[in-house]
Amino acid sequence: MMNAIKSLDDEEIQNQLSKGYYSIQGHRIELSEVRLIYCVSENLKTNLEANSENDILVLLDMTPNAELLEEGLAREIINRIQKLKKKAKLIPTDEVVVFYRLSQESEHRASNEIKTVIEKYMNMITTTVKSALLLYNDEDKCKRNVIITELVTVKGVILVLTICSAE
C-alpha cells in the first residue's frame, strides 16, 4: 500500500485531492488520514527545500548567497569580541573601545574581505558588542589604558583585537 502511495505522480495526487479522498488499491482513504509531504527530486541537484500546507507549496532556495556569508562573518567577529570582553572580565555595559588590525601575514584577499565586512557591518557590530570598534591607530591607542590584547583567527585571517578603556 505504501509503495502504491509513494508511486503516485502529481496529476494523480491532484485528482484524488479534488475528489476529497484517495482510492488506492480498492481502499478508500480520507484526506484527514493523509499528510502530503513534498520533496524536490534528487536529480535536480539544487538546494531547494519544500514545505506545504493544504494546497500551498513553498519552495525555498537554500543556497547561501554572498550577503548571508558576509553577515555570518560579521557575527563571527562579534563573537570573538564578546569572548575577549568576557576573558577580560568586562560586563557588556563597561565603556571600552575595541581596536582591530589585520596581521601582515594574512592572505591579502582574505584580509580585504574581513576589512570590507567590518566596514559594511560596522553598525551591527558596534550595536551588538556595545562598544566602539576602531581601526588600530598607535596614536589613539597610546592615549588609552590597554585592558587586553589577543590574536584571533577569523576565516584564516589573524585579527589583532585590543580592548582599551573609553577614556
563571527: which residue's cell?
76
Instruction: Convert the pLDDT of each residue in 112-137 to its tens digit.
Output: 888 899 999 999 999 999 999 998 87
Using CA atoms, how far apart are residues 86 and 89, in angstroms rounded to an integer?
5
Give the Cα-Cα-Cα angle 66, 56, 65 (nearest 5 degrees).
5
Instruction: Convert the pLDDT of each residue in 134-163 to its tens digit.
Output: 988 766 656 788 999 999 988 888 899 999
Better-predicted residue by pLDDT, 165 or 121: 121
Q: In this predicted structure, what is the pLDDT of residue 142?
A: 63
Q: In this predicted structure, what is the pLDDT of residue 117?
A: 93
Q: In this predicted structure, what is the pLDDT of residue 16?
A: 76
Strand 146-154 and strand 132-135: the pairing is unpaired
Among candidate residues 155, 70, 80, 81, the one with its CA nearest the CA of residue 120 = 70
Residue ranges covered by each domain of the chain: 2-61, 66-165
Q: In this predicted structure, what is the pLDDT of residue 162?
A: 93
Instruction: Report the chain's mean pLDDT, rounded to a whole number.
Output: 83
Return all residues near 111 (Cβ < 8 A) that are at least 6 apart.
Answer: 102, 157
Phi-psi region of 162 (alpha: psi -120 to 50; beta: other; left: phi over 0): beta
Tell me the pLDDT band of 65, cut-offs 50, 70 and 90.
confident
Better-predicted residue by pLDDT, 101 or 50: 101
Q: Whole-structure pTM over 0.85, yes or no?
A: no
Mean pLDDT in residue range 12-31: 78
- The percent of residues above 70 in pLDDT, for the chain, comes to 87
